Structure 1
Amino acid sequence: MLVALLGATAAQAGEKRDLIIDSDPGADDVVALLLALASPEELNVLAITTVAGNVRLDKTSRNARLAREWAGREEVPVYAGAPKPLVRTPIYAEDIHGREGLPGVTVHEPSKALADGSAVDYLIRTLNNAPPHSITLALLGPETNLALALIQAPEITRGIKEVVIMGGAHFNGGNITPVAEFNMFADPHAAQVVLASGVKLTYLPLDVTHKILTSESRLKQIDALNNQAGKLVSDILNEYIKADMVQYGLPGGPVHDASVIAYLLKPELFSGRQVNVAIDSREGLTFGQTVVDWYDTLKHDKNALWIENGDAQGFFDLLTERLGRLK
């Protein structure tokens, strides 16, 4: 049975959620970062940690710092993390995100540098020192950084409230192979480590992100903000969505990673089901596939909340409203 996510949340209770965003920016990652950084009443963004994924680590780290600069939130530290997956050969998505990872806009070197130290060390230190079950992690790219932290210091699970993941695919099919979503395919071994950690997991897979699509009117409402943030997002999305619209014959394009931030801000926009999830890391056609026991056929422990539906117009209304708060 699908359940609407209407329970008492930190945002609904007027309580800020302490959040670390782990990301591989990437067009949709930058939109997600702007949405999060424009929402300080609900989200206390402790740091942004970067990982190789959509493009190489030096470019994802620069793009995260650009998003921070564009949001006017340069007090939020950015830590660079893993430059490659745990086991597999690195892959990138330059065919979708462009050589610089930000299609549709001109990039530059941000004025503020990276924070000293590695993302993995930051995660270990911060989660070890946190009150029990107090910090949410939003994983928008390959899960390598958190996996490395868990391998080195498994006790950090004590500090984790929830891990919300953009990744996986079940009903939709994959976007890098017929069955695998890019983030899982890029580092399935890391995803397995996170799954085995026992922390509270929520997935926003292609099953939902391919239902939250741009449209001409939705892009116009962003463009009509007439501010820098609205123009940036409009320019990025107008270029970024082209490939998916052609590949899948969609009337618009998904903004995958921003759905994670929208879920944290307004979970009532989404619905899903507790299920058992496993990741296939065997070489072959199913490498990187998320195996979702939607109908509880195997009677295994339900280890994740799998989001399957979302309110597309509600998402774009939220995104537009928050971008309107920025310059």
Structure 2
Amino acid sequence: MAKSILIDCDAGIDDAQALFMALCSPEVNVVAITVVQGNVLPRQVSLNVLRILRVADRLDIPLYVGSDKSIMGNERMHDADPYHGRDGLGDSPDTEAVDESLINPEPAANAIVRLCREYKGTLSLVCLGPLTNVATAILQDPSLGENLNHCVIMGGNYYGKGNMTVCSEFNFFSDPEAARIVLTQLGGPITVVGMDPCYENALTWEEYDNLRKMRSKVNDFMRRIEEKLFTKLRASPEWPKYVPCDEFAMAVVINESAIVREFQELYATVEVKGEYTYGMMVVDWSNMLKKPSNVRLVTKIHSDEFLKMLYRTADFK
């Protein structure tokens, strides 16, 4: 039986690939999508998700929009030179506008609380962006984690090597207070896929080229939205490989036993006061805090199985 999943995302290019992985996989059933500020503001994220759903012929999936501010009420902190383009999908718009009437008026956090209750014990929450919506949902319903089957988060970093600041990863840096609330207050099973194993299992550009040679509506769409960004990355010595992130988290959701080689159960939180470490995930490797484990941290991945999953998605007709 397919696993029921609720996806919370900020719909950048890697989110698009991760969404297609879920939409094309018989192992999971996407019951709804909520959008959050991150790569772009929520309204643009919702338009991006509608584009993705249209390609996959899944416009039946309900879509809910979250706040355009962090859990503390702050505006987005990283508008300059957006990595995924001004529209979040590589600045490669479709000729046909999406139908905005398909966006539900119910706020994303409310929808998360409601759906977790309706699917009590059977719903997995997949978090691909900043955790503002989920933290807001926890504040509305502190028993949220008790209603969840599982929560899989793409975010954080356990080596302390950041991609937004010296120490912080994008999703957690975008709303550190929200990330802290989710890790320490959700209370249900959490699996974290940080940026570290994503970089360690990056694909070569040759592997990427072979993947995108396949012809399908999904692959054609991905090739188009990736073109500007990946042309720039390939010309830079800082990007010798293609680094998927959200895709690894989704792969864990779809088939954990095939994807995860190793994980550690331990306590983790997020730094919200440090001068240099604001937004950094703090992992208690040696149990110095004497607190019970609250996350399963994925540390090793079967990259060959992951690549097979990407090929399966690329071949979706």
How many percent of aligned residue pairs carry the same amino acid?
26
Q: CA deviation at 1:157?
A: 2.4
In the alignment, what sits opposite 2:24?
38
Q: Which residue of 1 aligns with 2:48?
A: 63
Deviates more, 1:250-259 or 1:71-80: 250-259
One-letter amino acid matched to 2:40: V
Q: Residues 105-152 of structure 1: CA distance to partner in whole angstroms, max 9, x if unpaired?
A: 324531362123211121121112323x21100000111111111111
Letter in 1 for 2:10: D
The structure 2 residue matched to 1:162, chosen from 143, 150, 165, is 150
Give the SS at the match of 1:19: strand
Q: Aligned partners of 1:149 and 1:171: how far apart in 2?
A: 29
- Further displaced range: 174-183 or 122-131: 122-131
Question: SS of the counterpart of 2:83?
Answer: helix
* Alpha-carbon distance in 1 for matches of 2:205, 2:180: 39
Q: 1:184 deviation in Å? A: 0.5
Q: CA RMSD in A?
A: 2.1
- Does the CA contact (< 8 Å) of 1:38 and 1:323 recur in 2? no
Distance 2:31 2:202 in 1: 29
Query: Gapped runs of 5+ residues in structure 1?
Result: 1-14
Any idea what SS the aligned residue of 1:173 has?
A: coil
State the SS of the aligned residue for 1:35. Answer: helix
SS at match of 1:75: coil
SS in 2 for 1:309: strand
Q: CA offsets, 1:209-247, max 9 Å, x none?
A: 112323233223322221121122233345434666677
Conserved? CA contact 1:51–1:60, under 8 Å: yes
Contact 1:134 1:160 in 2 (8 A): yes
Match of 1:103 in 2: 90
Structure-2 change in CA distance of 1:307 and 1:239 (3 Å): farther
Is it true that 1:79 corresponds to 2:67 in the alignment? no
Aligned to 2:301: 310
Please report how far the alpha carbon of residue 314 of structure 1 lies from its aligned counterpart in structure 2 after TM superposition.
Answer: 2.3
Distance in 2, matches of 1:238 and 1:193, equals 37
Q: Once the two structures are superposed, what CA deviation does each residue of 1:74-122 show, in whole Å capped at 9, x if it has no partner?
A: 1111111121101144224652111010116324531362123211121
Cα distance change on mapping 1:246 and 1:283 into 2, 3 Å: farther
1:261 to 1:67, Cα distance in 2 relative to 1, 3 A? same
TM-score (norm: length of structure 2): 0.91
Offset, 1:46: 0.5
| 8 Å Cα contact 1:222-1:234 kept in structure 2 | no
Partner SS for 2:241? coil
Match of 1:206 in 2: 195
Query: Take 1:210 and 1:248, find their aligned partners in 2: how far apart are those partners?
Result: 15
Aligned to 1:218: 207
Measure, in 2, the Cα distance between the counterparts of 1:251 and 1:293.
31
The one-letter code of the counterpart of 1:31 is Q
Q: How does 1:132-143 map to 2 (within 5 A)?
A: 133-143=121-131
Separation in 2, partners of 1:19, 1:306:
20
* Further displaced range: 250-259 or 26-35: 250-259
Structure 2 unmatched ranges of 5 or more: none
Q: Counterparts of 1:300 and 1:238 in 2: how far apart (Å)?
A: 46
Cα deviation code 1:159-184 (max 9, x no counterpart) = 21111000001226111001000111
SS state of the match for residue 305, structure 1?
A: strand
Aligned length: 310
What's the TM-score once normalised by structure 1's chain length?
Answer: 0.88
Q: Pick the aligned partner of 1:184 from 130, 148, 172.
A: 172
**Is 1:275 aligned to 2:262, yes or no?**
no
